[in-house]
Each structure stands twice: as C-alpha cells, then as structure tokens.
Structure 1
C-alpha cells in the first residue's frame, strides 16, 4: 500500500522518514521479505506540526489480545491527597526506545515513493505497543519509587509526580528526569510541566490538587459539546447517522464517568437505540436516532457547560438512613451513632402498590431522602449512609446503572441527591443476597489468604499493638474474633469494609492487593490508626 497524501505532505513525510532512518527507527527492507503492508500518511497536529502515521488497523485485527493492568484515572483518584503539588513528564518518541523482534519486522512494512521500509523500533499504532512499553518501563519506575517519597503514576509515556512539599517535589522531579535520561529517554518540553503546580493535566483530565477535584479539560469539553449539538440537531431533523458514529459518541461520554458517576443513566436510551440498529442492520450501516434521546443529550449539554468538578475526597458518613418497602407502604429512619433522629412513613396508592418490589424500594429511598432533606440541611450533614435490604436497589444506586424498567426511578434518586448536595454511601443490610456479585465486581475475593497466625502474634507483641478488628477476611481466615468479610459467610459483624466506618478501632488490615490504594485512602480520610501488612508493591 503506497503513501497517501498531497505534495506538501509527501515533502514533510520524506524529511521525517530520513530522520527516522538516521536514528535507526526504520530501515530499508526488501520487497520479497514483506509479509504485510501497512498504509502510511501524514496528519497535522493541533499545534500545526506534522505527525507521520503507520495505519495498523488491519494488522491489529490479526494480533492476539492479552491482559495487562495499566494505571488509570481511578488510581490517580486514590493516590491524590488534599493539598498536593504535582509535576508531569511526557517522554519524547517513547515507543521508539523498544526494538522490534526480527521475526516481527516483515509485518510492519510500508511503501514510500517506490521504496520499501519496515520498523526496527516499536511503532506507535500497533495494538500491544502500549503494553510492551509499560512492561519495559515498570522496572525503571519501581527503582525510582523505592528511592523517593514522591508518589508516581505512569501511563505509557505520561508520568505524574505528587508530593505535599513543593520544594521537595521540584528537587525529586529533576532526579527522576536524570534517571530517565540515564536510561535513554528524553522529556517533551512542550508537554511536560516540571514546575510544581496545584492544577495538573493528566490522562485527559484537569486535576485540582488544592481542593482534590477533577473536571473535563476545556478543549475536550468544547469538542464534546460540538458533537452533542450536532447529534441533537440531526435527531430533530431526522438525519441519518452511522451506527459507529453513535457508538463513538457514547464511548466518549462514558469516559466522563470519573466526573459524572451517573453517566450510564443518561446514555441508556442512546445505547439501546444504537444496539438495536446494529443488531437489525449491522455495524456498517446508518440509523435515525429517535427523539426520546433528546432529554439525555440536553442533560449532557447542561453538565458539560457547567463542568462542575467532581470531589475526590469521600467524607465518612455522619448519619444513617435505613429504608424498607412493604407491599402496603414505605418507611425510613434517620439516626446517628447515639440516637434516632427522625422517622418517616407513607402508604402506597393503588398504582404504587402494584409496582415491583425493586420499584417500591427505590421509591422508598427517594421519599426518605426528601422527607429528611430539611433535617439534613439544618444539621449540616455532608455525607449520608443509606442502608437497604434490596440488593437490586443497592447495586443500581451504587453503580448508577439499571435495567430499562428502573432507569426512571434511579434517575429520581440521583436528582434528589444532587439537589441535597450530599455525598452518599449505600450498603446492604445483613441478610441480602447480592454480596458475592458486588464483591466480585471489585476483585475483593482475591483476598482468600492470610498471614501466618504465629507471625501475626509475634508482630503484635513486638510492636505492642492490640488490634480489635480484622477488616478484610472471611470466616475461614480471620485472625481476630471480630471481623468484616468480603462476602456473606459465618460470624462477620459486617460486609464490605470499605463502606463501613473504621473509627474507634485499632484495625488489622491485610487487604487483597487490588484494594490496597482504596484502603490507604480510607485510612487517610478517616484519620485513624491501623495495623497494615502488605507486600512490597512499588
């Protein structure tokens, strides 16, 4: 496949190709050795400069998938501390530091002006290039982490550095740069921020470290609003759009769940119509979006125009609301640690009485929140725990997802919480049947192991500690009489420790590895003392 482009693009391409030949990134290749041709062309970046592209879309379909856990925005959320300072590094031509195996080179070939070339260094664009690069970088990042107190998150060639002390971070940032230079990397000065700041751009988000919030970047916000305005106009005039175009917009909006946790509720209508069109006519076809999607699009437009940052710090619940929905009516109680504060009860009308138990329970939660709104405001409650014995209601509100039949009711819960301006944590009451599914969704069952009892006892004795509760265990591996379990078992006092308060306890914490960041974050936020043992995990 020959180069595609204008005369100007061909001229720029030739300059970049000659530079890559000098740097041993690409090399001439004999035509008879080529096993796969890849299209190649130029695109102009936002800053006006050109980028040389190897289009590996067709090749990627032939490459096997494999799983590798990359750092992501949720890890940033768990790592950030209120009042942090941050710097960021972007590595120049990072992938080109990896050498392609000889047997893979025939598959990375391209043609330019009747000459044939292939990549000697790893190109950007093949499916597993980011994974190979992240794997190669991990030992380097581990060494850096073990020699500094700064917190580091790296995503492929982007690196975020965090610390509470501005001067210390500035000094350590220079040392990190020196280490990376030693291994042959160079930073991109245009995309790197080496002066400590409390507003940093990382992974496509704008992070405010001074007040621990995150919001969509201005440029991305404008592009999404443009797409949404177009979609709304096309729906109103019944313009045909491609199924893939709809899927692309849904994907972009779904990415914003870090800022708008309820995003799924307002994508359901569009996603349902897209899925139906793909099922009936196929992915490579067009569709006309029904006007029922317009209210959700209007919601997205309003949200992005306001761009209110999401709070990253979870406040411990100051009160608990418990709800119950019987066939005859719904009731709720509001209490703090010491006493009952308020009670509310109502009976269903004929239509409400015919609702499913899930619908009634969700409605009872909404009514309870509305009944206690004034009390919560007067007592200046910032965070509320909600308890329900209905597994579907708890799961749907916790994940802000629901079946089509429950979407409207779940939206009402969200809108009520939004008006109250309170943080909520919703948990199951003892006896519910959905703990296994919920626990599996957070990988919490990965903790089916324990520290040897002898070592545990020796450690407690040597450190003169007497822990009162085991927070991450099950009935067959708890080391203390009082324990919280990851799933329903025997003898636990509660389920899902991350949604319980840890105050007034000296907790023994030996969490599953995937939950370590969340456990450390909760310790900091509740300002408690705890005994924690974990593997060296830089």
Structure 2
C-alpha cells in the first residue's frame, strides 16, 4: 500500500519513504532557478534565500547528509541577516554551486529510505587517543563481540580530540562493514564518549573542521541502508575501546613471570636468550 502525504510517498509494504514525483519535479525546477542565479551572480532578497534553504531542509528526513551540504548557503543567509536584517538583499556567488549540484544529484536519484525507526541490532563503541583508535562491535542473535584497533597514519591530519573521536567512528564503521552485511544489520547504535561526535551524527551536520568526516560516516550508512543512532556515554564505561586505542602507547608489554615459567615448564624447554627483551621486561637472566 502506498500513501502520499505532505509531499512524501510512503510504501507500507516495503517500509520505505521517498519524495513524490510532484515534489521531485518542483524541487528540480527550484534548484535550476537558483543554479542560474548563482552562475550569473545575481542579487536576491534574503527572505527568498531563506525560503529556498527551508525547502531543502524539509528534505533532510530522507537525505540525512543534507545539513552538511547547506553550510555555504546558510552562512551567506546568516551573515546578511545579522548585518542588515531580513529585508536586505544578498549577493549569491558561485561558491554555492557545489551545494546546489549535490542537491540536484541526490533529488534526481530520489533514493528511498526506511520509513520506520528500527531498534538497534548491534552496538559499535569507539574511542581514540593521540596515536591510535579502538572499537568494539557487539552483535546480537547470536551474540558476538569483535574488537578493532588501528594507528593514525600520516595521511590523517587530526588536530583536535573531536576530530580524532569522529575519525575513530569512521574507521570502525568501515572495518565493521563486513560483519554488519553478513548479519543484515539495518540499525546500529554508536557509543562514544565525545558529545560533539554523537551530536553531529544525529543531526546530520557539523562545523567545517568535522564536516567531511561526518559526511563520510553518513555516506557509508546511506550506501548500506543503515540507520545510525549515536549516543554519548561516560568515558569510564568505555573501557575496552579506550584500552584498544592506547595499546601501543602504554610501553612494552610482557608476561607475568609466573605465567612465563609455567609456559616453559609445559613446553619442556629452557630458552637461553630473549632477542626482543629490554631491561624492564626481560624474563631470562
């Protein structure tokens, strides 16, 4: 059964939501007009620009990444309103064309999304340190827990804890993709001890320093038909991911002396030298 309401088409049999054909055509025409305005660098009223942004914001129910691709338009509008008020006019430059083209592409595809909110079928907990990231993926039915960790390469330019924590979610989501696909997980709960990362993922928008990372996270979820529900948790309860993210920064590791002696006794051998030992973790005299 298909229902059309307020410009939305809801398929109850497939549990999918998308724009109606009428709304899709209307939005494509609107974007075409604003594309010409930007190309010709015309002056428009701030109220008209705000109305255009509002029409696109309405579509974020279907397009979760929409907020990230309204940053430049929102910046122009907000600056004009702050300086001159709502009755002012504003110069629309060509920098906004990238956002307009993105919206044209996504609206043309009109890819349906799940209409109902699904209870999380797995939990991904993440944490990050200066040099590494760590994560645990808890799957249900049957229960399984998978641990991930990795090191920040030189390609990562992460200058703040917010960037590191958001990047950790991105890396963990990429690494867990195979497991989520095998279990056909449609809803994932993300646990992080960083409030900014959780907030940005849920609202589908972020400041410029985090925008690309959040956009990639939401893009992975979109391509996998995966609902994301991000939650902030206290750092003291995020023990395993925190430990994984600090594995390589905690110094040299070694077996307890008793465990080592029991192992060589079972193996019936007596090593004479440990080539990888130092003065702190050596077991042989």
What is the TM-score when the length of structure 2 is the normalising length?
0.74
Shift of 1:322: 1.3
**How far, CA to CA, are the matches of 1:372 and 1:398 in structure 2?**
20
Tell me, yes or no, if structure 1 residue 307 matches structure 2 residue 74: no
Matches within 5 A, 1:74-153: none
Tell me, yes or no, if structure 1 residue 403 matches structure 2 residue 207: yes
**Aligned counterpart, 1:364:** 168
Call closer, same or farther: CA 1:351–1:316 in 2, change over 3 Å.
Answer: closer
Residue 260 of structure 1: which of 48, 58, 63 is its match? 63
Q: Deviations over 1:6-46 (max 9, x none)?
A: xxxxxxxxxxxxxxxxxxxxxxxxxxxxxxxxxxxxxxxxx
Residue 244 of structure 1: which of 32, 35, 47 is its match? 47
Shift of 1:348: 4.8
Call closer, same or farther: CA 1:226–1:324 in 2, change over 3 Å.
Answer: same
Tell me, yes or no, if structure 1 residue 340 matches structure 2 residue 107: no
**Aligned counterpart, 1:205:** 8
Q: Which has the higher contact order (CA 8 A, sep 6+)?
A: 2
Matches within 5 A, 1:344-355: 344-349=149-154, 352-353=157-158, 355=159
Call closer, same or farther: CA 1:418–1:204 in 2, change over 3 Å.
Answer: closer
> Runs of 4+ in structure 1 displaced over 6 angstroms?
none
Aligned partners of 1:382 and 1:422 also within 8 Å: yes
Shift of 1:221: 1.6
- Rg comparison, structure with higher value: 1
- Higher helix share goes to which structure? 2
Partner SS for 1:263: coil
Matches within 5 A, 1:322-341: 322-337=125-140, 338-341=143-146
Shift of 1:431: 4.9
Matches within 5 A, 1:170-319: 198-319=1-122
**How far, CA to CA, are the matches of 1:378 and 1:201 in structure 2?**
34
**Aligned counterpart, 2:187:** 383
What RMSD in Å do the two structures reach over aligned CA positions? 2.2
Call closer, same or farther: CA 1:230–1:220 in 2, change over 3 Å.
Answer: same
Aligned partners of 1:362 and 1:410 also within 8 Å: yes
Shift of 1:376: 2.4
Unaligned runs of 5+ in 2: 237-285
Aligned partners of 2:64 and 2:218 also within 8 Å: no
Shift of 1:371: 1.8
Shift of 1:402: 2.1
Aligned partners of 1:332 and 1:345 also within 8 Å: no
What is the TM-score when the length of structure 1 is the normalising length?
0.41
**How far, CA to CA, are the matches of 2:155 and 2:224 in structure 1?**
29
Aligned partners of 1:235 and 1:289 also within 8 Å: yes
**Aligned counterpart, 1:510:** none
Q: Deviations over 1:182-241 (max 9, x none)?
A: xxxxxxxxxxxxxxxx22222332222222322222222211111111211221221222
Tell me, yes or no, if structure 1 residue 421 matches structure 2 residue 225: yes
Unaligned runs of 5+ in 1: 1-197, 433-538
Aligned partners of 1:329 and 1:348 also within 8 Å: no
Residue correspondences, number = 234
